[in-house]
A and B are shown apart, each in its own frame.
Chain A
Amino acid sequence: AQSVTQPDIHITVSEGASLELRCNYSYGATPYLFWYVQSPGQGLQLLLKYFSGDTLVQGIKGFEAEFKRSQSSFNLRKPSVHWSDAAEYFCAVEGDQGAQKLVFGQGTRLTINP
Chain B
Amino acid sequence: DTEVTQTPKHLVMGMTNKKSLKCEQHMGHRAMYWYKQKAKKPPELMFVYSYEKLSINESVPSRFSPECPNSSLLNLHLHALQPEDSALYLCASSPGDRWNTGELFFGEGSRLTVL
Contact = CB atoms under 8 A, between A and B. Distances in A.
**B and A form one assembly:** yes
Interface in A42-100: 42-46, 49, 51, 90, 94, 97-100
A106 B103 contact: no
A32 interface: yes
A90 B33 CA distance: 18
A56 B109 CA distance: 31
Interface of A: 32, 34, 41-46, 49, 51, 90, 94, 97-102, 104-107, 109
Contacts of B86: none
B42 A43 contact: no
Interface in B39-89: 40-43, 45, 48, 50, 55-56
A45 B104 CA distance: 8
Contact of A105 (B42, B94, B99): B42
Nearest to B108: A43
B100 A99 contact: yes
